[in-house]
Amino acid sequence: MGTLLLSIIIPLITFTTYVEVPAFQTPIHTSEIATPPYVPEYMFKEPINYWPAILWSIYGIGVLIFTIRFSVNLNHIIKRIKQNPKFKKHSIIYVLLNDLVQPHTFLNYIFFNKAKYEANKIPKEVLLHEETHAREKHALDILFIEVLQIIFWFNPLLYFLKKDIKLNHEFLADQAVLNNGFDVKNYQNTLLAFSSNAQESQLVNALNYSSIKKRFTVMKTHTSKTKTLLKSIVLLPLLAILIYSFSKREKIVKETPQILLPQEKKKNKNDLVDSIKKELEKVNALQVTYIDTTAKAKYYQNVTFQISQKDSNTIRNKSYNELTKEEKQQLPPPPKIPNKKSPSNSELTAWQDSKTYGVWLDDRRIKNNSLKTYSPSDFSLYYVSKLEKNAVNYGKHYYQVSLYTHSKYYERYKNGIKPLSKGALIKINSKKKTQSNSWTKVETVLKNASTSKNQNPTIDPINIFISKDNKLKLNNKPVTQHNIIKEVNRLNTFLTPKQKQKYAWASILYEDEGSKPFAKQLIEELRSIDIYSTSLSNTNALNKHNLKPFNVLSNEGKTLKEAEANYNKIMNEGSTKDLESYNDSLKKAGSPWKVDAKFQDISYSETSFSKHRTNEQPTSTKSAYSYVKSLKGKNITYYYNKKQVSFKDILDITKKEPNINISTNIKDNKGTVKFWSVEK
């Protein structure tokens, strides 16, 4: 029994070794992940492996069979106890059976043939033998091994072990009888008379003929104390070998702390404060660049998205183009091509330590000492990452170094970041909120702190004026071309990036037609700081028609709640109602805001309610009718005076009304075109 317990306990023993590693000086670039720098979690479709299910099914069937067998045997003994007469003698209960069975024991119950017991035909030696089994609770050992046999039914060693445990119980009971002064030969003859080859329950201790020979041999053998002591001494080193061989060993990396003197601590504290201040200045000046949606579409074009609907407990597969706006926002932007960086000579030397570092060159494992043949100029890129405890190679080394040669770097990034491979699967929770990076969180905290004194800030205007010599003014204050984006980014800091995209509208006014390309470039740069809605106009045309110089739909002076209400109103009413503020100018045939056959180049580069650029529009050489004809076959929805019409209807309308107002929102040959009649 002790052997069985040791076999269970030894594998559970864990020897922990603490390995001290010097403080690591090589920079670890956690912001970049090796090739690609960032890849969202995804799974590849693989063939289903049925073997685990088959093996677990076989194991489960075996457990079920052995459990039934154990239950049947136990139930048989309990029935014998309940259905037959019994009496208690001291702590032992005698159960008298009508069956012709040999004496046997289960826990503190001893079973005898009733007729033989009442006729006093059961020798005292046999009674003492069975009472020893009951007092020493040998049945508990049998029950324990039976339970193990249910769990590990596939292990044949348990069958032999159970047989040996039962035999050892008989040795102990025999020794107890002989210690009470009974003659050995008479006892052996008694055992022969009461022994049986009949199969008793697996849970009881019974006299059995098959074990008699071994028991007789043990009775005649007398082991000296010296021999027993020597055997015990020999077992000790054997036990030590077993523990060392089958126990678990774990290495824990313990970095050596850097001990600083009080003067150094004070100096480092001051340095830390200065460092934090510098980082905060960087954060304040940070401009977050948002990746264009077309780049996302290209990166995820091969991916299948599995959408989980919590409210309806359904799962639906979609392509990227089928995703909703909210679902697309949950996806991280495509990774950027990492900047080149080469290691130093000291780093190459440090990485030759194979106990601390594992080295990969161009995605292949190499020997650490092979780094001796390389110089820093041989590499275009490298990453160093610390292994987690559950990593496969943890313990063999504790840091992974990935190096890339010039040819590998060029091969990997010559065509930019490649789209995810076909068969990739990404799971999306439909109710999951859009994830934001750590910089966005920092910006939000800083914005909240800056606006804590003013609970109801209003939206600042973004009015940019470009003079003939391309000099700039922002809200009537001079600003350089180099600083224009930075200065605009300082406005409306209480708005989040999404709120800026919706509510912070800009107007660009230029004096000379030669400044128009620069103005269009400025529109693109404003998008990098989330200014998505910008009007573009020429001062000459505005003066001619006595129009306001800047965007009349601006949210200037509105609070965030007012801007939100305005936006919701626009979205709910289809955006056309709010354009009524232009009525006075729209009624004029020569209005620069009107889009018709006499269209002038004064228009919104984007509508105020869309993040997408409009496609081709009518020009001075292209009438509204010709423009509509060019849209034939495209997935366009047409509206005339707020009512949806067919392509054929709008062709007839534009033919009859050459002077008509148009608003377009088209991307990838999909979208809407709205028309309004011009009142004369």
Report helix, strand or coil for 74. helix
Higher per-residue pLDDT: 615 or 122: 122
Q: Establish how many alpha carbons lie within 13 A of residue 194's alpha carbon, considering only the half-sphere containing its beta carbon.
A: 24
**Region 149-163 average pLDDT:** 88
- pLDDT tens string 552-568: 567 888 888 888 877 77
Report helix, strand or coil for 20. strand
Predicted pLDDT of residue 256? 56
Predicted pLDDT of residue 478? 92
User: What totals of helices (H) and strands (E) does the chain contain, helices first?
Assistant: 23, 25
Predicted pLDDT of residue 251? 63
**Region 378-405 average pLDDT:** 86
**Region 51-74 average pLDDT:** 93
Query: CA 576, CA 568: separation in Å to the nearest integer?
Result: 13
What are the boundaries of each domain within the chain? 51-221, 293-429, 438-572, 573-680
64 pLDDT higher than 90 = yes
48 pLDDT higher than 80 = no
- pLDDT tens string 661-671: 787 778 778 88
Sign of CA dihedral 372, 375, 376, 379: negative
8 A C-beta contact, residue 219 and residue 184: yes
**Region 645-665 average pLDDT:** 85
Predicted pLDDT of residue 469? 86
421 pLDDT higher than 80 = no
Give the phi and the psi of residue 47 in degrees, each rounded to 5: -65, 145
